[in-house]
Amino acid sequence: MIIVMEKTSDCATLETYLTEKGYEVHSLEGGDEILLHLIGDTTALEIQSLSSYEGVRKIVRTKAPYRYVNKPRTSGPFLIGERRLDDMLPLYIAGPCSVESKEQILHIAEKVKEAGAHALRGGAFKPRSSPHSFQGLHKEGLQHLKSAAKAHGLLSISEIVDKEDLPLFEDTVDIIQIGARNMQNFSLLKALGKSSKPVLLKRGFANTVEEWLLSAEYLMMHGNDKIILCERGIRTFEPSSRHTLDLGGMLAAKQTTHLPVIVDPSHAAGDYRLVEGLSKASIAAGADGLMIEVHDKPFQALSDGAQSLKPKRFAKLIRSLKAFEEHN
């Protein structure tokens, strides 16, 4: 880290403070400034506070603010249940936004399995903007998801919204999803950090890539390195899609971390007509997989029908993605 200071400021006091904190500090004088070069682990240093020291002009981080997510994986193969993630790439996760009934999820499971999906999604605890909207079938929904996934040899994934429900999720699903709205729910992150279940961490729609990776850092710091990152669109000024899919952000995340990064084009698009193009673009760009909402009767869906693909269309999409996988 480099601290740029005015030559007339009291650098010595700051230097002593930093040396006492354990940093090696080198100073360089030139023109009307003094540069302090800090050597050591600066991830825990409060830049905001330091910048209030009189005479500090600028502070530049020369290293990433991570200790874990930017290091290579060391703990052996990434297993989801008994399956190796590496053998499934690109990972295709599909299913309805919400588990609506036992029959619905069983039927969709059959269709997405036939199409080539690896994992079945289905929300049981829904974080809806309106309290009047369908909130999910809760425990019963997770049981239906579990049996539908099992019946068709699929992995299962569902979103957790409350850390109290962790034992229930650990019993019922193979991957636990942290949704966009909870990306910075730090007590949830810490609790899932202690779990042995893989976590799919969605990017918050108003969060930077760095904040997203720092949330993954929480999980890793607490012991869980089985993390799949998921870009799902961010909020911008552009209303032609529900959110704006940030493929540049997906690539930036992939360049910074060894963690797999997948894309959810459904929540980004908000419209099923855009899902195919965004999926192709994501896979061509190098995403490690996709999470796609599929519903057999989208117009009757209890959530997110507008962005859900019908099973036939999903199957066609998976077939057409092969050509893009090869370029990946």
Single out the segment in contact with Mn ion by CB under 5 A; choices: 61-69, 91-99, 183-191, 198-206: 91-99
9, 54 contact by CB (below 8 A): yes
Residues 40-79 that bind ligand PEP (CB under 6 A): none
269, 279 contact by CB (below 8 A): no
Residues 121-150 that bind ligand PEP (CB under 6 A): 123, 127
Residues 200-219 that bind ligand PEP (CB under 6 A): 202
Choose among 211, 216, 277, 214: nearest CA to 247: 277
149, 109 contact by CB (below 8 A): yes
Closer by beta carbon to ligand PEP, 42 or else 303:
303
Closer by beta carbon to ligand PEP, 217 or else 264:
264
Please tell me whether residue 93 binds Mn ion under the rule CB under 5 A. Answer: no
Closer by beta carbon to Mn ion, 56 or else 119:
119
CB of 159 to Mn ion, least distance (A): 9
Q: What's 136's DSSP letter? A: -
Answer for which of 173, 304, 317, 318 binds Mn ion (CB under 5 A) is 304
Q: 47: which residues sit within 8 A by CB, 6+ positions away?
A: 59, 61
Choose among 215, 254, 132, 124: nearest CA to 176: 124
* 3 state DSSP class of 20: helix
Closer by beta carbon to ligand PEP, 123 or else 265:
123
CB of 267 to Mn ion, least distance (A): 6
Q: Compute, in degrees rounded to 10, the torsion defined by CA atoms 46, 52, 54, 56.
A: 60
Closer by beta carbon to ligand PEP, 1 or else 245:
245
Answer for which of 97, 201, 287, 318 binds ligand PEP (CB under 6 A) is 97
Residue 193 binds what, of Mn ion, ligand PEP, none (CB under 5 to 8 Å, by partner type)? none
Residues in the interface with ligand PEP (CB under 6 A) total 11
Please tell me whether residue 97 binds Mn ion under the rule CB under 5 A. Answer: yes
Residues 147-176 that bind ligand PEP (CB under 6 A): 159
Please tell me whether residue 242 binds ligand PEP under the rule CB under 6 A. Answer: no
* 3 state DSSP class of 218: helix
Please tell me whether residue 264 binds Mn ion under the rule CB under 5 A. Answer: no
232, 268 contact by CB (below 8 A): yes
Q: What's 274's DSSP letter? A: H
Choose among 260, 327, 297, 257: nearest CA to 92: 260
Please tell me whether residue 96 binds ligand PEP under the rule CB under 6 A. Answer: no
Residue 190 binds what, of Mn ion, ligand PEP, none (CB under 5 to 8 Å, by partner type)? none
Report the side by side order of strands in the sheet with 56-60.
Answer: 24-30, 33-39, 2-6, 56-60
Rounded to 5 degrees, what angle do the CA atoms 95, 99, 105 make? 60
Closer by beta carbon to Mn ion, 217 or else 304:
304
Residues 263-282 that bind ligand PEP (CB under 6 A): 264, 267
Please tell me whether residue 232 binds ligand PEP under the rule CB under 6 A. Answer: yes
Buried b (16+ CB within 10 A) or exposed e, 173-187: bbbbbbbbbbbbbee
Single out the segment in contact with ligand PEP by CB under 6 A; choices: 1-9, 177-185, 187-195, 275-283: 177-185
289, 92 contact by CB (below 8 A): yes
Residue 202 binds what, of Mn ion, ligand PEP, none (CB under 5 to 8 Å, by partner type)? ligand PEP
Binding region for ligand PEP (CB under 6 A): 97, 123, 127, 159, 179-181, 202, 232, 264, 267
- The residues that touch Mn ion, with contacts defined as CB under 5 A, are 97, 304
